[in-house]
Amino acid sequence: MPTRLKYEYPLFFVFQQRLIEYCFSQQVCQFGGTKNPPGMTLSEYRVMFYVWAILPSALLLTFDVRTVLTHPDGFECVSMIRNPEVLAVNQDPAAIGSRLLSQGFTGPAPTTVSITYQVFGRKLSAKNTYAAVLLNRFNTTLLAKVTWADLMSDMNPIPRNATVRDLGKQITLGPFTDTFVTTVPPHDAVMISAVAA
């Protein structure tokens, strides 16, 4: 168990040992109770899961499914962590690291408390395929966007059109030109894939 937990920019916990195991065994789907932090909402768990999933790292889940299913959001939480499309991004064989593509903030400069949204993205092994997480860190619903110029910056020329799929909902949203914009509820995230045309 970690002895120190410190929140650090942009959205990662830094502590002495077992980072991934701690995040999932102690936090995901632990509604309420005495955990640190004490019980988050399902949308906050979704943020945590999507941010870890966009990273090419191991995901360790060690919680009692029987307990989580007693919570009103328990079934949805278990469905979230079993989502094959989100897991496929994390387990993509290319294992290319994600990067911060853009962020919005209040005030003159971005700080941990002034950042309102962030967009993380990475290239996947399938031809012309990318994934992105659009994260709302703010207390109100907002519009978050990802541009193909940011997400697909390794392509020359930058494609104008891409087919977007909401990986969390497992639905194809259709073709988009230059940019994808979506509404993200407070403390929530949307994870997409984009296949350049």
Residue percentage of the chain with pLDDT more than 70 = 77
pLDDT at 1 over 50: no
Residue type, 74: G
CA distance 187 to 197: 32
Q: Tokens in use for 31?
A: 């509604």
- Listing from the earlier edge strand, what are the strands of the sheet with 161-166? 99-105, 115-123, 129-136, 188-196, 161-166, 171-177
pLDDT for the residue numbered 30: 55
Helices (H), ranges, 55-179: 65-68, 74-81, 84-90, 148-151
Residue range 126-155: average pLDDT?
96
pLDDT for the residue numbered 2: 37
pLDDT for the residue numbered 111: 86
Residue ranges of the chain assigned to CATH 2.60.40.1180: 99-196
CA distance 11 to 118: 10
pLDDT for the residue numbered 44: 86
pLDDT at 183 over 50: yes
Residue percentage of the chain with pLDDT more than 90 = 53
CA distance 196 to 48: 27
pLDDT for the residue numbered 109: 86
Q: Which CATH code for domain 99-196?
A: 2.60.40.1180
pLDDT at 132 over 90: yes
Of the segments 4-8, 19-23, 98-102, 110-114, which one has the largest average pLDDT value? 98-102
Element (H, E) at 50: helix 42-54
CA distance 196 to 128: 5
Q: What is the C-alpha R_g of the chain?
A: 17
The interaxial angle of helices 74-81 and 42-54, nearest 10 deg, is: 10
Q: Tokens in use for 171?
A: 């639905």
